[in-house]
Amino acid sequence: MKYRKLGNTGLIVSELALGTMQFGKKMNLGSLGQEDTTRMVKLALERGINFIDTADVYSLGESETLLGNSLKGIRDEIVLATKVRLPMDGNLNTSGATRVNIMREVEASLQRLQTDYIDLYQVHGWDSITPLEETVRTLDDLVRQGKVRYIGLSNLMSWQAATAVMLQERLGLEKYVTAQMYYSLVGRELEYEFQSFAEYYNIGILVWSPLAGGFLSGKYSRENPTPAGTRFAEAGQFVPFDKEKGYRVIDVVKEVARRHGASASAVALAWLLQRPAISSVIIAARKAEHLEDNLRASELQLSEDDVRQLDSASDPGTPYPKWMVLQLDTAEDPRLKILHPERYADGGAWKDLRGTRWSG
């Protein structure tokens, strides 16, 4: 297992983290009970994982409860992350990133996890109703109180995340250090803007659903799109993507996997580990052998040719305004070639679309 810094902090986390949506029986995503949960946690720690991510809403608190039981006596050995924001019951005020809900839910999470502090407390999504200042001041209070060590965001658009970070800076509040976001070979929209935002602010990206709900494991094919016993068969397609393009991507993933004697899952995860701004990739498995297989991604080193082949097969294109930003900044500005010649060693960071005088 390799390790990285958690965003712009001194906290060290495993580059693969253990996800916990499969713990508990209320989400139809694994339904693991206490015995299996404890076994999976033990295996993860034995293989070098020191970072575990959960959320209050996973099986409506059951995931946190099972995880808390599994961590008795070893809590301080790991970096523990959880989330708040999504509804826990029918009460309108047990939802959102309000002061009331955050303060109530952090206490509930601490109790279920059987701990007196949370290493990373994340807001699970944007709250369009609650004033942003109310949310970030409440999170700052939790850090000052010692109940939370660091704070993170999840599932925000670039402008939302940037607005939050700038508000934290202006008010002198504790800043977000991580962003938990969806990213995979069949879901590369994160690269449009958010990844650049994360690099600029030195925010560590935590990747959820890196295998696109299991699709990139190689179990699925045009001939058998929903094999029995798989997540797609039991809970449907977990994240949206173009299925036909997905099959073309998985064909290339399998080709790279054969060259390395590895699984499709390991290749898809290894590709993510080589992307910019990644602090950790969250893996979740219902069976020990699947977790063991995913962990091999930390040992797999893809070649430049491998990466080029995977990039080409999964290329989502470059939307506006990003293509114009790249055109102006890397193709039409001569300073970049002087200051960063390494970026142009393989032909250029961006193909000059307009044939400017600087492209030669």
Q: Which of 65, 22, 8, 27 is nearest to 282 (CA)?
A: 22
Are residues 203 and 178 in contact, defined by beta-carbon separation less than 8 angstroms?
yes
Question: What residues pair up with 118 in beta bridges, in sequence order?
Answer: 148
How far is 227 from 222, CA to CA, in rounded Å?
11
Token output for 77: 């050995």
Residue 12 has a CB neighbour count (10 Å cut-off) of 12
DSSP 359: -
Show which residues are catalytic. Answer: 58
- Residue 126's identity, in one-letter code, is W
How far is 123 from 105, CA to CA, in rounded Å?
11
Residue 129 has a CB neighbour count (10 Å cut-off) of 9
Residues in the chain: 360
Are residues 152 and 122 in contact, defined by beta-carbon separation less than 8 angstroms?
yes
How far is 19 from 341, CA to CA, in rounded Å?
40
Question: What residues pair up with 281 in beta bridges, in sequence order?
Answer: 16, 207
Question: What residues pair up with 16 in beta bridges, in sequence order?
Answer: 281
Please name the residues in contact with 85: beta carbons below 8 A apart, sequence gap of 6 or more. Answer: 95, 96, 97, 101, 123, 124, 125, 127
Q: φ, ψ for residue 127 (rounded to 5)?
A: -115, 105
Q: φ, ψ for residue 12 (rounded to 5)?
A: -100, 130
| DSSP letter for each residue of 301-339 | ---HHHHHHHHHHH-----TTHHHHHIIIIIS-THHHHH
